[in-house]
Structure 1
Amino acid sequence: MKRIKNFPNLVLMLLLSLFMATSCQKDDRQSGNNDPQETIPDTFSEYFGNQISRDFLGTVIDKNHNPIEGATITIGSSTATTDSNGVFMINGATVNQRFGYIKAEKAGYIHASRSVVPSNGTNKVTIMMLEATIVGSVTSGSSGTVTTTDGSSVSFNGNFIKEDGSAYSGSVDVIMHHLDPTDGDMPLQMPGMLYAENENGAERMLQTLGMLAVELRGSGGEDLNLADGSTSEIKIPVDASLIGIAPATIPLWYFDETTGYWKEEGQATLQGNMYVGAVSHFSFWNCDIPAEAITLCVTTTDDENTALANMSVSITSATFGTTYGYTNENGEVCGYVPSNESLVLNVYSYDLCGDTALHTETVGPFTLDSSITVIVPDNPDIVQETVVGTFNTCDENAVTNGYVQLSYANQTFTDAVTNGEFEINLLRCSDNNTFAIEASDYTNLQVTDSISYTFTTPLTNIGTISACNAVTEFIEYTIDDGESILIFENISANFYAESPNYPGPTIDIFASSNNQENCYYMFGVLNDPDYLGTYDSFAFDGTVSNDTGFFIGECLNVAPENNNITYNLTALSDVGEYIDINFSGTYEDYQGNPHTIIGVVHVLRDN
């Protein structure tokens, strides 16, 4: 799982959004936070627009970026459960044009969520769940204070209630997390997004100086809260790098877990390096400065107007800090940015190309909602890749509800499968041209192994892969775009560092289906260690040769003449581990007929 590098000190979260006007109004009023007069709808939900149906693909992870399996995901009336990769899929969820709310719950973790403005296509989200670790305990009817190691604290006066409003008596466990805006993982940990309703009912974007998550549990594990009329004092540390911009007083905002956005309630005072305020209930509390903004949509393309997906786009304001987001399959990302300011826009491909921006320019100032296109100039050190393929069930039907994960250079790209077809776009800047693919049939809970491939720039067609949990090794190939052939029985794979018949190392692989309808034979003469790399066809005629390459003619009627098949040996492990080979190209059969072929070999080494 990728980490975001050089995340800004002041988090100004990006809200993927479409801007729309509201028709219902109430009288203009002056905000208590010196906001300008504005038109405010009668109910806050009128900002969200009409109900629509959208698809979601998300990943739930823990604080160590490991997947969380078995988390319950809720979007409106739709629910799902994360699989072994921490991935969930919900298609056709009912959300609003400008607002969708995704909740994640699992025993042992505090409540987690993400709010988005849904876009067309598949909406991707990542949620980091924090463990429900008990920091301390207090007793109802007595005063007490619970403090974390970084100085965050909550003081109680001893009165608590259960969820049904009845009084609670006994020990109260306090679960508490401080979320620091200088932590690059904070955007994944925080609930919802930094989108809020101020005390006058107007929408605002927020700049956070720190959050505190507090959940209270009774002795039986039941959720508790403060009794009516009770208050608690909270203290939230401010990072030393932010003290210079921290105001003496700041609005407090709490996260409403029912609605999915923040609401203004009260204020905190800066005392030393701590914001101190009084609250009357608990969820997440947030010290934020509200900001006016316009919506800006950025589309990234190359010189040929081809959309660049999976790019990190950042917008930096000298006043309000930095916001960021990732381009979708159309190369687009939208969000709120400060109005009336010149802004610095950067395009990155983190982990793949390091921390250096691929493109930088100054944009704005903007006074109205705007859309711009940014062309990332051609660079000989940057390689654009597209990986396509077909994903079938074990019985060779197209997967209709699944996803594919491409792993490259410590980064993982997850994309949905549409009627068995998938396409993943990325940029790479490394000399390493090997990647791995793993696919999951979300409906049938079937997965493939992680299989290694080699880029065939700019388009890599990996052919057909199948999800069969019981299959530990297989050979799969397709000729002339026909039906995919899958063999997973009677496989023998041997490697000889010194071949008795040929100079140098060799591989021979044989497989046949139990019904004897299909057989496969592959022979290869390899280069010197580490053996991995790209090979052409070996002119196999039964005689000793100093040539290197692969031959697959015996079972498949592949003639040595006019043979333009390329083979990529991407893994050659110890006995009992995998040999991975993918191949593609054109050839003639022994009758002189032309053909195309694409295939993958994922077999366990026997010798």
Structure 2
Amino acid sequence: MKLNRLIILCFAVLFFYGCRKGENAKEIIPALTPGPGAAEIGLSGDIKNPDGSAAEGVDVTIDGHKITTSASGLFEYTGKVSNADKVKLSISKKGYFKFSKTFTLEENSTIENLSYLLVLEQTVGSFGSASGGTITTTYATLVFQPNSFVNQDGSAYNGNVTVKMPPNIISEYADKLPGDTRALTATNQKVVLDHWGGMNVQVYGNTGQLLKLVKPVNYTYKIDWRYVYINKSNPIKIWSYDEADDIWKEAGDATLNGQYFTGSTTSLSYLQWGTAYPQALLRAYVTDGNSNPASFFRLGCGIDNYAVNSFSGVRINSKGVALIYVPANTQIRTAVASPCYDMLNAFLIPPIAVDKKLEQPLVVNLALYITTFEGKIEDCGFNGVKGRAEFTFNGKKMLSNLDNNGYFKFTFLLCQFNGYNGKLVVYDEQNKIIHQNSNNPIRAGIKNAYLASLCTVPQAGKVTINVNGKTYTFETPKDSLSMSETFEPWNGSPTTMISAHSADRTQGFLLTYLGFKGGKVDLYTCGFSIPSNNYTMTWGLYERGTTQITKYKTSDTLIEGTFKTKTNLNFSVGAPGEVVEISGSFNISR
């Protein structure tokens, strides 16, 4: 808890005192709507169970188009929507609260890597509808009046009432509360909300049907500790989410006392407390100042010290554009954060007039996040193959043509230093799969390199090692030999590897050097093992040895050369062992 508070405090300090003014803002233009109604868009992401595991079989509906999550919890939609200004995504699964989110998009833009956690419908109590009842949880008390319930069609209900609520206080409000920040007042004025948490309650009848309230329920609700210091005068407005109209609507007043809201309402399903402001639209173009958009990062907005978490943040789309409705006629503080919630930069945005839109470029530092996965596919003659590569990573599929030398390249933003495995599939020009690998660990902010050979011709040759006056030999077909090319996992450096094993696996040899080349090269690693003895080249204890590559990928030879280095005999920490020189030669061909 102390760590979480420290992180939030640091974020607040950066957000409100580390801001810089946005530059080159365009003229405020009259049209508030971000573009034409119908548009081609894309939304994709994943749904997780409350324990963080993938949620399979969840219904995801996007602008009326229903899809179901895969075994990995993934969903993806690309197609037309009726209104790009309000694209509704709804998530539903039996036993969990339904959730809807509204996105403001533009033609031919996508938002990816969305992630939502299902919220369990937990039974917290029951009572007879005629008598009413009191429900108490760790964070709320609800007092229902007698004869308060009707069916969805408005007919009177008489029977048992079951009340369901989330197991815990709803937190991370930007992702847990439905819709976006737009709302309607009691007089139908269009506004945006500065909000401080929410409550979700569902009431069910005898047959599991959803009921509605016709008499107010009195409640006391404990809000998240981050909102205890809200500097607002009572009463504070209540807002309920109208699922049919996809918007928050004014639903009464509440009183805040310390960490508790008290009030009464007939709208329990998705309730929040907040202050309304006239609305304007901010269209921020977020890049690193070059050609790299901050795609799928977050843009959050606030207006004063308590608003750090108040205005729901939005995802930046594939073009680097963030569209967010904000309070009009006031200076806006914005912050850009990665999907891992580490903040990049904060900015001050000038006031925008009511019902107007402001175009605002924002430049952020993406150097730590720009990640590439690139490599080459070659045949037995070391020539690049033609075709295309398909890389699926973090639920998103990317495509790249292989150039004339067999090279492919994928570039994307990633904020996890210890990333995920990606799946690479390579197709030839006839669309036939010629290579695939599902174990490609990706690390953020570096070049992740890859090399694969389609050659299936067995390797053959001979390796000799000289140590302590003895010569040891590995030779095919009796023993196993190989020359391979890979990339050092920590810095992506190309690495050539020579390995040999005896048939009974009691003797082994491994040599690596950095680079795909011939000539004289420093050794990167070198080791030789026989029963009872291991010879290891140890960094830092002496100068590393070298290898002289006399042939490298010629018409008849994969690699040929010699090596010499010092090693430690039976090295262990604290007892490095005797320093012994080993040398030898190798010749490997196909």
Residues 447 and 492, structure 2, Cα contact 8 Å, conserved in 1: no
User: How do 1:373-388 and structure 2 match up within 5 A?
Assistant: 373-376=361-364, 382=368, 384-387=370-373
Structure 2 partner of 1:359: 345
> Residue 232 of structure 1 aligns to which amino acid in structure 2?
V
In terms of mean alpha carbon deviation, does 46-55 or 58-67 score higher? 46-55
Match of 1:584 in 2: none
Instruction: Give, in angstroms, the shift of residue 292 of structure 1.
Output: 2.3
For residue 269 of structure 1, the aligned residue among 230, 255, 263 is 255
Matched, 1:549 2:512: yes
Q: Is the 8 A contact 1:389 1:423 kept in 2?
A: no
TM-score by length of 2: 0.63
**In the aligned structure 2, how far is the partner of 1:223 from the partner of 1:403?**
44
Please say if residues 112 and 128 of structure 1, whose CA atoms lie closer than 8 Å, have aligned partners that are also in contact: no
Alignment of 1:532-543 (within 5 A): 536-538=495-497
Evaluate the alpha carbon distance shift between residue 168 and residue 360 of structure 1 in structure 2; reply closer, same or farther with a 3 A threshold. Answer: closer
Corresponding residue number in structure 2 for 1:92: 79
- The change in CA–CA distance for 1:129 and 1:168 in structure 2 (over 3 A counts) is same
Structure-1 residue corresponding to 2:482: 523
State the shift of 1:102 in Å.
Answer: 1.2
Structure 2 CA distance, aligned partners of 1:68 and 1:306? 32
Q: How does 1:54-73 map to 2 (within 5 A)?
A: 54-73=41-60
Aligned 8 A contact 2:283 2:359 in 1: yes
Give the letter for the 1:258 counterpart. A
- Residue in structure 2 matching 1:135, options 124, 134, 150: 124
Alignment of 1:168-187 (within 5 A): 168-177=157-166, 183-184=171-172, 186-187=173-174
Q: Given residue 255 of structure 2, which amino acid in structure 1 is its aligned partner?
A: T
Query: Given that residues 485 and 497 in structure 2 are in contact (C-alpha distance below 8 angstroms), is that contact kept between their aligned partners in structure 1?
Result: no
CA spacing shift, 1:133–1:93, aligned 2, 3 Å: farther
Conserved in 2, the CA contact under 8 Å of 1:349 and 1:358?
A: yes
CA contact (8 A) 2:278 2:327 kept: yes
Q: CA deviation at 1:70?
A: 0.5
Q: 2:555 aligns with which of 590, 603, 606?
A: 590
1:102–1:115 CA contact under 8 A, matched in 2? yes
Tell whether the 8 Å contact from 1:114 to 1:127 is kept in structure 2 after alignment.
Answer: no
Tell me, in whole angstroms, the C-alpha distance in 1 between the residues paired with 2:202 and 2:335.
38
What is the alpha-carbon distance in structure 1 between the residues aligned to residue 110 and residue 304 of structure 2?
33
Matched, 1:318 2:304: yes
* Alignment deviations for residues 223-276 of structure 1 (CA, whole Å, 9 cap, x no partner): 2223xx433223333445534424311222211222222122222234564333
Aligned partner of 1:6 in structure 2 is: 8
Match of 1:251 in 2: 237
Q: CA deviation at 1:106?
A: 0.8
Alignment of 1:81-480 (within 5 A): 81-119=68-106, 120-124=108-112, 125-177=114-166, 183-184=171-172, 186-226=173-213, 229-239=214-224, 241-244=226-229, 245-270=231-256, 273-318=259-304, 321-322=307-308, 323=311, 324-349=313-338, 351=340, 355=342, 357-367=343-353, 369-376=357-364, 382=368, 384-387=370-373, 404-406=392-394, 414-417=395-398, 423-426=410-413, 436-438=421-423, 450-453=438-441, 460=448, 477=453
Q: Give the aligned CA root-mean-square deviation in angstroms.
A: 5.3
Tell me the CA shift for residue 157 of structure 1: 2.1
Structure 1 pair 127–360 and aligned structure 2 pair: CA distance change class (3 A): closer
Unaligned 5+ runs, structure 2: 16-27, 377-385, 402-407, 426-435, 468-473, 526-551, 559-590
Secondary structure of the residue that 2:175 maps to in structure 1?
helix
Question: Whose Rg is larger?
Answer: 2
How far, CA to CA, are the matches of 1:177 and 1:456 in structure 2? 35
Q: Is the 8 A contact 1:256 1:283 kept in 2?
A: no
Q: Which amino acid aligns with 1:536?
A: T
Closer, same or farther: CA 419–588 of 1 in aligned 2, 3 Å:
closer
Letter of the 1:404 partner, please give it. Answer: T
Q: Which ranges in structure 1 are unaligned for 5 or more consecutive residues?
A: 13-17, 23-45, 391-395, 407-413, 441-447, 464-475, 479-484, 493-498, 511-520, 552-558, 569-586, 594-607
Q: Hey, what's the Cα distance between the residues in 2 that align with 1:456 and 1:175? A: 42
Task: Please report how far the alpha carbon of residue 327 of structure 1 lies from its aligned counterpart in structure 2 after TM superposition.
Answer: 2.9
Question: 1:51 is matched with which residue: 31, 38, 41?
Answer: 38
Give the letter aligned to residue 269 of structure 2: S
Give the CA deviation at 1:371.
Answer: 2.2
